Chain A
Amino acid sequence: MKNKNSPLIILLIILLTCAILTTSGCSSTENEAEDAVSGMEATSGSDSASQTAGGSENNTLVLGEMWDIESINPIDGDAGTLICEKAAVTETLVGANENFSLKPGLATSWKQLDEDTWEFKLRNNVTFHDGSEMTAKEVKFTLEKVISENPKVASMLNIDSIEAVDNYTIKIKTKEINPILPGILHYPDTAIISPSSYDEKGEFVKPVGTGPYKFESFDDQTRTLTVVKNENWWGGKVGLDKMIIKGIPDPNTRAMAIENGELDFTVDVPYSETDRINAIDGINVEKYKTPRVYKIDLNLKHEPLEDVRVRQAMSYAINRSDIAENVLYNVGEAAGGPFLPTMVWANKSLKPYSQNLKKADELLTAAGWVDTDGDGIRDKDGKPLKLNLMTYAARPGLPPMAEAITAQLKEAGIDAETEVLEMGSIDDRREKGNWDLYLAAYNIAMVPDPEYILTNWYMTNGTDNGPGYSNPKVDALIKEARKITDLNERYKKFNEVESIVYDEQPMIIVAYYGCAIVKKDYVKGYVFDPTAHDYRINADMHLENKS
């Protein structure tokens, strides 16, 4: 019977073998690749890879991180935030209080010796996770490494030379006057690491820092990072024995995973789900503001938008509190100026523009935009007031917000249309000047000082001055303020800048960004740090009676 061994059976057998082969992880590609790639550091904890629901030990926190974990090197970009703020493995020289004023970190004090020289005194008796002491030598090593590997931070620091005066004193010379140097040293990418983070060949191995948790393993395949308690932390007691950090980029999946008991702590579930999840027994959701704003850049080179009255009218047409409540579900808040009112330097007199269609109508009519043909859209010289609003989908609040804004602009007789594009297309259009409005979310406290943002956004030729705004008075004020080291005087000048752009609206600030912290009830001692990029894990966090 030849047809008994039907090829179908053979096919199935082959497929099955493939399946078994791949599951057992001994596929030939892997071995070949391993031969091809010598000296690759692969720390793999395959036992942590197959986490089952509720299968972790009693004092272990399983954390669902919002971004994919692509790297664990704290000085090369994205991973700085993860390793310093979320995994608490490394620490910075300078810390920040809730109002963004600076406080000691690994440095206990700092002072300016002259225009471009700073002296930092380091904390004594701080040890790295490899047991060695942190001295000026390692600080110098870290900062020099950051400058050579991270162009962005290098240009912010603008450092000329670093000198280790003695074990606990470091002298930094900047290329030109840089009053915000201490603020930049709060940035996570500048966190201090031990030279033992690298091997003899200068290849990065693992982050060795001074923080409350030390690196244990990183599973390269499932991109799961495990850190354990640092018994000798200089700051005292550490709450958790272990933290397992998994990158789960889909907000819906994060929500379901914490509901199912696979996570103890996560952030940013879909905003529309926050109240439902908060109502679940054993899980609570807390909403906070983070230093980021949703703002619209207006292309001032386009005819209707160069008129300040049109810009103000648009700002009056937008109902910010409605957006905060119904689009962001209160994960965020209506915004006035570019800075959070809780920031020590913010101009606190700037209240959010509230929706006022009557005022918008007056302003637009004064600017010559009237609806002459009765189609509901204003026109001028026979041309309708038609604008496109582009945004991207990487942050979940943006597309629905764009829809709400275009609908509200329509109420004021402005025909706006939303386009959700990929970042590449947005860059391309901005380059070609082929856009009207651009809605984006921006970080406003990369550095705890107003200079960085105000210079980049509002100064003529500022790096992030998308609108092409240029105001000599603003430029002069910023230049003056930059040279002032007395903080109060400095902030006064910057407050004036904030007032001017609040009136002129080259960018429409819509809302402050929010962050939803979702955690199980047994997670205790968590304190939200408003200066963190997304969230910061604090050493006091611990678990009570996790079953």
Chain B
Amino acid sequence: MKYFIKRVGFMALTLFAVCALTFFLMNVIPGGTAELVLKHTFVGLEESVTDEQLNQISDRYDLDDPLYLQFFKWVKEAVLKGDIGTSYVFKKPVLYLLALRLPATIQLAVVSMLIAILAGVSLGIYSALRENKISDHILRIVTLFGVSMPGFWVALLLILIFSLKLKLVPVTGYGSLENLLLPATALSLHSVAAVMRVTRTSMLETLGQEYIRFAKAKGLPIWKIVSRHALKNAMLPVITVIGFQMGSLLGGTVVIEKIFAWPGIGSLLVDSISARDLPVVQGCVLAIVTMFLFVHFFVDILYTHLDPRIRYG
């Protein structure tokens, strides 16, 4: 329990640090906030804005205040009222936008994660049991592709094959399972490969242990050995990788969401950065980091279950 409180405290601290960092970074990158907000909302991207318009926007959003003041005002509102600001571009509360966009991204990330775990772990075990046989080599070459192919390329290939050629699923759309299949698969490919490689290595190491040889000698069938004895011990490094993959999945959604016109948070974040929609950028970063922290928290809890020797305190 004491550990839990400490842990939550650290999470809050991390979030604060990330928000501060995001805020100041957004203010040091080239280009004026007010100018880009204006360009995004009132004028064509390429056209200049007048000083009068700049002043209007700066006054409306207090952009002329010293940075630390702006930041603390935001923190105060967020902590005391739970209000993390209003979008400069959409002119709607950031919380409302997050509520609209977050479910789609969580769906995508979670389903991709599931695909990565199921496919990665089972292929990894299979590969380990078939060590140095032809199927093992084929799988390893395939995963090498998986790790090295850029996401957008995979996504386009998948659309080409499954939508245009086989007519199985639509290219765009949101709200049903068939819409989810392609983006989730495209997003998970990289993670499947990563999880599989770690599973394979870790499994091989475990299978070489004394107690496994003993089990074999006892005449237990191989699937029993794997599921009862080896799997649990081999899982530790895999869980770690899965935790880290969550991070790359959340990053990967940006590209995938653009391609599939998926109404998630990734595309919102990118657009908001170029439009200098600070409150939305803050909100998206906050949401993504929170998810990431929770996944890691969860992973740590799992550790203690898998290996009783690990104790936090």
Which A residues have a C-beta under 8 Å from some C-beta of B?
Answer: 3, 6-8, 11-12, 15-16, 18-19, 22-23, 25, 27, 29-30, 32-34, 36-37, 40, 46, 49-53, 68, 70-71, 76-78, 150-152, 155, 220-223, 246-250, 252-253, 256-257, 259-260, 262, 392, 394, 422-429, 440-443, 446, 456, 463-464, 466
Contacts and interface: CB of A to CB of B under 8 A. Distances in A.
Contacts of B53: 151-152, 155
A52 B173 contact: yes
Contact of A423 (B45, B159, B167, B306): B45
A260 B90 contact: no
Interface in B17-46: 29-32, 35-36, 39, 41-46
A8 B231 contact: yes
Contact of B36 (A8, A33, A424): A424
Contacts, number: 199
Contacts of A248: 172, 261
A150 B43 CA distance: 10
Interface of B: 29-32, 35-36, 39, 41-50, 52-53, 56, 82-83, 89-93, 95-96, 98-104, 106-107, 110-111, 113-114, 117-118, 121, 156, 159-160, 163-164, 167, 170-180, 228, 231-232, 235, 258-261, 263, 267, 271, 274, 276, 298, 302, 305-306
A33 B287 CA distance: 13
A425 B172 contact: no
11 contacts: A8-B235, A16-B114, A19-B114, A49-B175, A50-B175, A71-B91, A256-B160, A262-B171, A422-B31, A423-B45, A443-B47
B117 A12 contact: yes
Contacts of B89: 70
Contacts of B107: 19, 22-23
Contacts of A25: 103
B173 A51 contact: yes
Query: Mostly helix, strand, loop or mixed at chain B's interface?
Result: helix
B223 to A, nearest CB: 14
A22 B103 contact: yes
Contacts of A36: 82-83, 93, 95-96
A30 B170 CA distance: 27
B47 A260 contact: no
Find the residue from B41, B121, B167, B228 having the highest chain A CB count within 10 A.
Answer: B41
A223 B47 CA distance: 26
Given A7-B302, A78-B41, A27 B103 contact: yes
Contact of B30 (A155, A256, A424): A424
B172 A246 contact: yes
B102 A253 contact: no
Nearest to A395: B45
A248 B107 CA distance: 20
A422 B114 contact: no
A453 B302 CA distance: 65
Contact of B274 (A6, A34, A422): A422
A262 B170 contact: yes
A12 B119 CA distance: 13
Nearest to A36: B95
A281 B174 CA distance: 28
A6 B110 contact: no
A256 B163 contact: yes
Nearest to A155: B50
A253 B258 CA distance: 9
A442 B44 contact: yes
Given A22-B110, A40-B96, A151-B42, A253 B173 contact: no
Nearest to A68: B271
A32 B99 CA distance: 9
Contact of A220 (B93, B100, B113): B100
Given A30-B103, A33-B98, A52-B170, 18 more contacts: A7-B302, A7-B306, A8-B121, A23-B177, A50-B174, A68-B267, A151-B56, A155-B50, A221-B101, A253-B261, A257-B170, A422-B31, A422-B274, A424-B36, A427-B32, A441-B46, A442-B44, A463-B49
A152 B232 CA distance: 64
A152 to B, nearest CB: 4
B90 A464 contact: no
Contacts of A15: 110, 113-114, 117
B159 A440 contact: no
B41 A40 contact: no
Contacts of B91: 71, 76
A27 B260 CA distance: 23
A531 to B, nearest CB: 16
Given A262-B170, A442-B47, A77 B42 contact: yes
A246 B53 CA distance: 31
A260 B263 contact: no
Contact of B175 (A68, A222, A247, A249): A222
The 7 closest A-B pairs by CB, nearest first: A424-B31, A33-B99, A428-B30, A50-B175, A49-B175, A50-B176, A7-B305
Q: Count chain B CB atoms within 10 A of each CB in A23, A51, A424, A428 and give the residue with the most.
A: A424
Given A18-B110, A78-B41, A53 B170 contact: yes
Nearest to B180: A23
Contacts of B104: 221
Nearest to A40: B96
